[in-house]
Structure 1
Amino acid sequence: MSNLGDAPIEVLFLILNNIDQQNHLYECTLINKSFYAAANPLLWRAPQMAGGTKREDTILFRLKQSFRLPHQHCLHSTPLGHNVRKLDASKICRLQDLRVVINNVPLVEELVIGIEKLKDKDMERIAIKCPQLKCLCFISPLDGSDRFFDPLRHCTNLRELSIYHSLGSHLQLAPLQHCPLKKLRLYSYGFDNEYAKDTFFVDIPTLTHLDMDYMPQTYYRHFQALPSRPHFPVLTDLRIRNCRFHDNSTMVSFFKSHPLISTLSLKDMQINQAVMTSLATDLIHLKYLCLIDNRRLPALTNPFHRVEKLNIRGCHINAQHMAMYFSNLRYIHVAKGISTRRFNDDISQLDGSTVETITKLTYLDFTSYDSVPDDLKVYLPRRTGGQLVKEDLDHIRETALGLVWIY
């Protein structure tokens, strides 16, 4: 073998598989026939479009046109659609184009759909034609029939499902109990409302991640009586937003039924003393706690022995008890000038030395790479001048251990 171009196609494929940029893969297809044969399947695994506002510019339309082209010039007889693994049909796509493409991408694993007015037949087509589907996301409001999700019971590889839901419409999730789902995200279009009261929730024994807006009243009522049987017995990651609990004991009962939760995010909720106590006593595996826009939080009365990360935004908490009740937290950072909601005694108005005095925690300003202690266990690239960019700060906030991040 005199040069890389003489390497077997299998070797070239393994090398080019490390290239993420599609423009670089496209350049590789222009080198010679061997590079074309190795790079072309990778170029099609997650096809993308540069932009445009016309139907002819959409990825579905281009794919539909390419499937109709003769393939006698290709080195392999494998249809182009068999190379697609990730398909994003979220921008100005049409239903008739989606139907044609779905019939030609049998090995697709991730599918994002931004098309409204999907029919039950369309869901059946997706379930039958895409048996390898692992991740399915609907980013347009769904108003399907009660049987819309029935075909998902046949998707034995489905692990992630995201649904944007129109408030007030029916959303029957009963078929999900037959799917080996691990992650479920339910988002709503609308404000100050909740899911339809007849939304039906069922047991999903494999679910570990649940992300929801507007939990329905039927879900509340299930946990009004103790002991309550958990819908998600192995749930470890919970994110809830915009919930208006008429009875906070419902949330306490939910926590008692799901003690394995280790990551919890509560946003736009009124948290009372009973809920705050339940967070410390019932969630015995809680390690990451995120409180966003929950207004004034009740006083801490119980220690959070296992919490290693604490994010607080748009909330007010008694800073003097920070070190007393969070024994695994050693550092604190206050992001200046971000939050628009201020309290008279807001900690974000104080300087670093005052914050250290009140909280008994070491204040970190994150002005440079060297200002990040090693025991935060954060791995950052050293940039020119040693400065930290927004990407670095976001990474610190999400992954650092032993840190309170107030913003």
Structure 2
Amino acid sequence: MTRLGRLPNEIILLILRGFTRQELYECALVNRSFHSVTTPLLWATITLVTKDHAAILDDHLPLLGQYVRSFDVMGSYATDDTLLYFLEQIPLLQHLSLFSGSRITDISILLVPCYCRHLTSLYLVNTNGITQLSFEAIGQHCRHLRNFGLQEQAQGSSSSLSPSLFAALECCPLEKLSLGYFHDDTNWACLEKGMADLSRMSDLTHFALWNAPPSFVHCLLTTVRWPKLTQLAINGLPGVDLDEYAVNNDSVNIDCFGEFLQAHPHLSGLDLRGSKITYHLLSIISACLPELTNINLSHCTSVSYDGVYELVTRCPCLTSVHLMFCGLSSGMFPNLLDTQLDNEFQLNKKAINEIAGKSPAYDDYDEDDVDTQIRGKHWSAMFGTLR
């Protein structure tokens, strides 16, 4: 015990790395050194859900608020006054998330930049009392904000999104942006009008879009070009039409999606869960994204074995393919983890290498010819020759 008391805090911190919250509580009782190191870890993230949570925070934040870096507010208990009361006691807050904050309005959000001068991440879910006034205040004063998420503006809510939303956030050095699950099509239409402003967010490396209508997806794919983009998620991507000029209410044309991928060759992560994925689309992905390392195709019921085979044999950097609930049998793929089930599995690096190594057709591709065709516009014709 004496030797433990002499350990430097840096060594104790290394020992505690990866410990669960319960294990940290136990370590806090070892001695004063362990207690001083574990306390900031235990209070780095706090959650407010009910009145009981508020009472606990009220007792401890005056002394421990300096350690809080992440604050999650969930449910309808919190009001503007409650939020501001606790934010005042968290001077170094970096991450703020509001989930279903139906009683949170502009009254408190307008003051967030004043209370949270170190804010780098803001996530708003179903916070219908927040209007463009708050977004403009955030854009003007949260100069460290790098991660912003906005989801689930309910239909018939008291406020709707403005076409100027993206323009208001342009002054923030945003690197990660997440949008989606808006129940009112008016919100999507408003955001579509601000697509030119969205395209000017040139520092974006991560972008996620959830359940957007085809018209918005089409506008996004044809308008924006982000040179630093490495991670893209489009949940529920509409079907990709093989007609070069097709643009309708149910699909996004294949040229549109292909040219977007071609303009973002540094994409290493792609999440298309719940989308209509065909062999042709996977061929486009494998041809355009040489640096792709992981792709999520979970709940993509139109995925075929041939499409997955094309993907893993043509993407040299690929290390993970998520195929949960795609209707494919894990028996088709070798070397899966023992814990994976028939309809809930992923291809790991070992399985991918095994499949790629057994590909007799891989050496038959003329890579120079493929590269030439990739630069062309007729995607459907190109992938007809590759098949």
**Which secondary structure state, in structure 1, belongs to the residue aligned with residue 132 of structure 2?**
coil
Q: 1:113 aligns with which of 98, 118, 132?
A: 98
What is aligned with 1:380? Answer: none
1:211 is displaced (CA, Å) by: 1.1
Instruction: Look up the match of 2:190.
Output: 198
Partner Cα separation in structure 2 for residue 289 and residue 253 of structure 1: 19
* Greater CA drift, 395-404 or 241-250: 395-404
In the TM superposition, 1:51-62 aligns within 5 A as 55-58=50-53, 60-62=54-56
Equivalent residues in 2 for 1:186-265 (5 A)?
A: 186-190=179-183, 195-199=187-191, 200-201=194-195, 202=198, 203-215=200-212, 217=215, 220-221=218-219, 224=222, 230-244=224-238, 246=248, 247-248=252-253, 249-265=255-271
Cα distance, 1:326–1:125 mapped onto 2, change above 3 Å: same
CA–CA distance in 1 between the matches of 2:30 and 2:220? 62
Tell me the residue number matched to 2:378.
none
CA distance in 2: counterparts of 1:399 and 1:321, whole angstroms: 14
Distance change in 2, residues 1:261/1:195 (3 Å): farther
Q: Which runs of 5+ in 1 are unaligned?
A: 69-78, 294-312, 342-346, 356-362, 368-387
Choose the corresponding residue for 1:185, options 156, 178, 186. 178
State the one-letter code of the partner of 1:108.
Answer: L
1:90 equivalent to 2:87? Answer no
Residue number in structure 2 paired with 1:64: 58
Residue identity matched to 1:170: L
How far did 1:133 drift?
2.2
Q: Contact 1:182–1:208 at 8 Å: present in 2 too? A: yes
Task: Give 1:163 deviation, angstroms.
Answer: 1.9
Letter in 2 for 1:41: P
Change (3 A) 1:235 1:195: farther
Question: Between Structure 1 and Structure 2, how many residues are aligned?
Answer: 327
Pairing partner for 2:297 from 247, 270, 291? 291
Structure 2: how far apart are the matches of 1:222 and 1:29? 50
Partner of 1:301: none
**Could you tell me which residue of structure 1 aligns to residue 365 of structure 2?**
none
SS in 1 for 2:272: strand
- What is the aligned partner in structure 2 of residue 45 from structure 1? 44
Q: Give the distance between the partners of 1:146 and 1:334, measured in 2 at CA.
A: 39
* 2:285 aligned with 1:279: yes
Determine if the alignment matches structure 1 residue 314 to structure 2 residue 301.
Answer: yes
- Normalising to structure 2: TM-score of the pair? 0.67
What secondary structure does 1:198 align onto? helix
Residues 181 and 212, structure 2, Cα contact 8 Å, conserved in 1: no
Provide the residue aligned with 1:23 in structure 2. 22
Go from structure 1 to structure 2 and tell me whether the alpha carbon gap of 1:189 and 1:117 turns closer, same or farther (over 3 Å shift).
farther
CA distance in 2, matches of 1:41, 1:320: 48
Contact 1:221 1:250 in 2 (8 A): no
CA RMSD between the two structures: 4.4
Q: Within the alignment, does 1:364 sit opposite 2:341 as a pair?
A: no
Instruction: Return the alpha-carbon distance in structure 1 between the equivalents of residues 96 and 134 of structure 2.
Output: 17
Matched, 1:149 2:135: yes
Unaligned ranges ≥5, structure 2: 239-246, 356-387
1:139 is matched with 125
Q: Which amino acid is 2:87 matched to? A: I
> What secondary structure is seen at the aligned counterpart in 2 of 1:147?
helix
Separation of aligned partners in 2, 1:323 and 1:156: 44
Contact 1:16 / 1:39 at 8 angstroms: preserved in 2? no
Amino acid aligned to 1:161: F
Deviates more, 1:264-273 or 1:94-103: 264-273
The answer for the alignment partner of 2:359 in structure 1 is none
| Distance (whole Å) between structure 1 residues aligned to residue 293 and residue 13 of structure 2 | 38
Quote the residue 1:176 is aligned against.
Answer: 169
Q: Which residue of 2 aligns with 1:81?
A: 65
Query: Per-residue deviation at 1:402?
Result: 3.4
Counterpart secondary structure, 1:178: coil
For 1:25 and 1:213, how far apart are their aligned partners in 2?
36
Distance 1:222 1:140 in 2: 23
* The structure with more helix, counted as a fraction of residues: 2
